[in-house]
Amino acid sequence: MAIYHSVTDLIGHTPVLQLHKLEAGVCDLFLKLENQNPGGSIKDRVALSMIQEAEKQGLLQPGGTIVEATAGNTGLGLALIAAQKGYKLILVVPDKMSREKIFHLRALGVQVVLTRSDVGKGHPAYYQDYAQRLSKEIPGAFYIDQFNNHANPLAHSTTTAPELYAQLDGRIDAIVVGVGSGGTLGGLQAWFAEHSPHTEFVLADPAGSILADQVETGHYGEAGSWLVEGIGEDFVPPLAKIDGVQKALRISDREAFITARELLKVEGVLAGSSTGTLLAAALRYCRAQTSPKRVVTFACDSGNKYLSKMFNDDWMRQQGLISRPENGDLRDFIALRHDEGATVTAAPDDTLSTVLARMRLYDISQLPVLENDRLVGIVDEWDLISHVQGDSQRFGLPVRDAMTRNVEQLDKSAPESALKPIFDRGLVAVVMDNERFLGLITRTDVLTHWRNRLEQ
């Protein structure tokens, strides 16, 4: 096997996997595993291409500063390469980006500037406008601008397209792509127009994005909102070459996330939310065909960046994307059910230090205390403060010394109105089935359940 001397040498030449366990009708469906790039996404290609072109043109000097607006993966690719080449990197990112991506970027030494994801182009807080303004304020900074940088599609016309064509022996009937900056679509179209003009391009667009409207009607209205990261836009990116797309499919967040989870479950591929959108569209396209076709789409990035979101059942329920069967009682309000093994608990003999660590790890502020699966108390942050009182040695004391034993409980059959008096006293609701502990209900749980009930 070859020995490489830089992670940048590992970018590209990603494998293609034929999918056999997802129902694709009469078609053969292939997935190009761009999540196998060293930065975990297809955007490694783009980042390397843009930085190399900027160096060739003298736009980047040694030790210089790169500024970019990104929903995540381009930023990770830029961070990987900037770290190898000694550039400083400032990224302006919308606040819907997953925590894993932000942690990854900061670990690579990136200065991350969070901005609003609920505003459109032209607003000063819009991530692209913000990044462009920032680059002008910093002496010598270079705004790499993936949305207008022709080295973006160049990455795909010179590497991704010919790779894909060779891997499938030149037999590709349709390619399903998403559009963020538009570089993937624009670059692939440019190459395939010359080498395989019969290949059809299908747009996978998050429901709420305006791009499917543009494909179908030639114009668009106001954009909606979506949770999928990295693709979908409220404007038509100039690099995308949307006019060359023959068909567009709108994919809801629910369908995208469930498809990505199914991809992991049945095919063993851990991929992100945009992959779920592309794959859902590819499956829909394949199932609509009456004659066999060879269809390709992409695992755009790795799903390990979405473990706290798309692959987290509790987060999915909070967003109203999955739900349990309704019981018609207080059990419906419990986010973390004890009978599902989801409740984080403490034992009377656990130390206060252990309890605090669990609170921090799971981002919660109170734990039920169970002994032999029987509820004996509850411990929250206020109990810790009251008991420790600045004496760090007291973190070694057992939970039984600090927990609240007089816990007001509600039977699962109690009316919904019984929750408010408990919340008025600053407490959480403890739900029981006779002597059996079922879980806790917080104010947030109630608000989430009400919102999901409205959306249903």
Other C-beta atoms closer than 10 Å to the C-beta of 359 total 19
What is the arrangement of strands in the sheet containing 200-206, beginning at the earlier edge strand? 16-19, 28-32, 294-298, 174-177, 200-206, 247-251
Per DSSP, which regions of 275-329 are E strands?
294-298
Ramachandran region, residue 254 (left: φ > 0; alpha: ψ -120 to 50; beta: rest): alpha
The whole-angstrom separation of Cα 314 and Cα 320 is 10
Q: Are 41 and 300 in contact (CB under 8 A)?
A: yes
CA distances from 140 to 79, 85, 367, 372 (A): 18, 17, 52, 65
Choice among 21, 32, 43, 136 that is catalytic = 43
- Is residue 305 annotated as part of the catalytic site, yes or no? no
Residue corresponding to tokens 């990035």? 301
The whole-angstrom separation of Cα 101 and Cα 85 is 21
Q: What is the DSSP pairing of strand 374-380 with strand 366-371? A: antiparallel
26 DSSP assignment: T
Q: What is the Cα 379 distance to its own chain's centre?
A: 33
**Residues annotated catalytic, as ranges:** 43
